[in-house]
């Protein structure tokens, strides 16, 4: 139970960091946020994104399975973008177009992949000691 809570907190922090990076990188493409709230807003957005990803994404993936198979998996980029778009609609202070949300989903996936890989590498190096 303690490990699951730690993993959830780590995913939450990674989501908040990934959203911050995505909004900063995608500012020319229509992504903006209310700079007055700063860190609290990104933490709230990361929490909402984590919840939306864990509850809504599996349902949307099953419903969009024909499109995912037809496009050989590329439609999952649209599903990830939809999850980002829905999350940022819920949290006040964010503005992002759907196209920018798809790019933000790609950025979030890359950040999650790199950090998860580093954590797995660190875990495997600890086992060898």
Query: Kindly report the CA angle at 92 between 11 and 83, in degrees rounded to 5?
Result: 45
What is the share, in percent, of the chain residues with pLDDT greater than 70?
92
Q: With a threshold of 0.85, does the pTM exceed it?
A: no
Q: DSSP assignment of 74-126, as one string?
A: THHHHHHHHHHHHHHHHSTTEE--HHHHHHHHHHHHHHHHHHHHHHHHHHHHH
At residue 107, the pLDDT reads 92
**23-27, 50-54, 113-117, 121-125: segment of lowest average pLDDT:** 121-125
- Number of Cβ within 10 Å of residue 34's Cβ equals 11
What would the pLDDT profile of 76-125 be if each residue is shown by its tens digit? 999 999 999 999 899 888 888 999 999 999 999 898 888 878 777 566 65
pLDDT at position 35 over 80: no
At residue 29, the pLDDT reads 80
At residue 101, the pLDDT reads 93
Q: What angle, rounded to 10 degrees, do the helices at 2-25 and 75-90 form?
A: 90
At residue 104, the pLDDT reads 92
Identify the top-confidence range among 24-38, 40-54, 111-125. Answer: 40-54
At residue 124, the pLDDT reads 60
| Averaged confidence pLDDT in the chain | 86
């Amino acid at each position: 139970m303690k490990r699951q809570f730690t993993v959830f907190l780590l995913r939450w922090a990674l989501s908040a960091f990934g959203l911050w990076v995505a909004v900063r990188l995608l500012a020319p493409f229509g992504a903006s946020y209310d700079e007055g709230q700063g860190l609290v807003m990104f933490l709230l957005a990361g929490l909402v994104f984590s919840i939306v990803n864990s509850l809504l994404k599996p349902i949307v993936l099953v419903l969009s399975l024909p499109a995912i198979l037809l496009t050989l998996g590329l439609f999952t980029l649209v599903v990830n973008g939809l999850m980002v778009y829905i999350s940022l609609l819920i949290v006040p202070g964010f503005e992002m177009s759907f196209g920018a949300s798809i790019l933000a989903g790609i950025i979030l996936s890359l950040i999650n992949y790199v950090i998860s890989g580093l954590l797995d590498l660190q875990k495997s190096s600890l086992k060898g000691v």
